[in-house]
Structure 1
Amino acid sequence: MAASEYAIFLNGSYGVGKSSTLDHIGDLLFRTEQPFSLMDVDWFHRSWPVADFDHGNKIIEAENMAFVWSNYRRVGPRRLVISGVISDQRVHDRYRDALGLEVRPVRLIASPETTELRLHGRYSASQSDALTWHLERHLELTRQLAEADLDEAVIDTDKLSPHRVAERVLSHFGLLPAGWKNDRT
């Protein structure tokens, strides 16, 4: 693995803006003509029932991501950007090993009020069980991520649009052109 090869990992609890930021990072990389691939971890483990040997579909998640990353790389070099949750070193290492890339997490945070407002906006009335599940767990996950302290940067998303958060993430990694001036918000 070359030193310049790494995956940007948008880390954070539920409702902090990871998926929205991921979309905007893709837009910015496209506008600046930088090759990229995006992955939202949630889509790589959504399968039921879970195999007896794979609590939480973590093995299948890593295998699916490795396979997709291999396909993306086949068409040429690109920057991988992922959104998900890295709650401890073991999870970090699982992603690193599956992808064959250094994984560089940036944690997105938001106040409980902002997070809960976003979660309420995400789920329809027919998804009340999912809403309740996330509302009951977001504070504990936020605490766990802060204690793990695996992130090289932390960005508060409370007062920023997903586009501005994306700019901050890419700026952290030096991936916006010198003198970058955004003409869109």
Structure 2
Amino acid sequence: MPQSGYTIFLNGGYGVGKSSTLEHVGDLLANAGRPFSLMDVDWFHRSWPPADQDNALIEANNIAAVWKSYRSVGPRQLVMCGVISTAADRERYEAAVESPLRMVRLTANADITRKRLRGRYSPSQRSALEWHLERCDEIAARLDAADLDELVIDTGNLGPHEVAERTLRHFGLLDNSPTTN
């Protein structure tokens, strides 16, 4: 089990700052002397051809194996980032890490997410950029409709460090008082 008894999951569509925020969460937890492990779930299903739809089962197995390894060195706060838009997806991740997920959704307006996505991909990755641009509005709408998150942070005018601070304060991991947003 994680040190806190739950896993923090940074949820959100493409280009909202999940991966950048995850790195800053790690920095802040390390500076506070709190044991942690970080997982960007995108890296746990990146293989081709897919073993199943979207490599979901492979992803869950990989996450479970890595989490088991992290836990073997002692209690720690697990923080993950990715996209969860259904209760079934949430349950699959909870089973993989054997703890409840407490989800924080990161959002940004469409212009900001598109600008961030365009900055992420090189000209040789044009098809990846187009794939993400075509789906970003639909993913954002699905996440809004699913309403699975206990906290929502608009990252449009915030840097990843500030988003990480707000997230950790919400859970009382930077100080003893959660914030209200």
- Fold shared by both chains (TM-score > 0.5): yes
Give, in angstroms, the shift of residue 19 of structure 1: 0.1
Q: Deviations over 1:5-46 (max 9, x none)?
A: 110000000000000000000000000000000000000000
| Mapping for residues 64-103 of structure 1, pairs under 5 Å | 64-103=62-101
| Mapping for residues 95-174 of structure 1, pairs under 5 Å | 95-174=93-172
Letter in 1 for 2:8: I
Tell me the C-alpha RMSD between the 2 structures: 1.4
Aligned residue in 2 for 1:38: 38
Aligned residue in 2 for 1:16: 16
Q: Is the 8 A contact 1:123 1:131 kept in 2?
A: yes
Aligned residue in 2 for 1:47: 47
Q: Distance in 2 between matches of 1:44 and 1:170?
A: 24
The 3-state SS of whatever aligns with 2:59 is helix
Aligned residue in 1 for 2:61: 63
Q: Is the 8 A contact 1:16 1:109 kept in 2?
A: yes
Letter in 2 for 1:12: G
Output the TM-score relative to the length of structure 2: 0.95
Give, in angstroms, the shift of residue 178 of structure 1: 5.0
Q: Distance in 2 between matches of 1:92 and 1:114?
A: 27
- The ranges of structure 1 where at least 4 consecutive aligned residues each deviate by more than 6 angstroms after the TM superposition are none
Output the TM-score relative to the length of structure 1: 0.93
Unaligned runs of 5+ in 1: 180-185
Describe the shift of the 1:2–1:72 C-alpha distance in structure 2 as closer, same or farther (beyond 3 A): closer
Unaligned runs of 5+ in 2: none
Q: Could you tell me the percent identity over the aligned residues? A: 60
Give, in angstroms, the shift of residue 55 of structure 1: 1.1
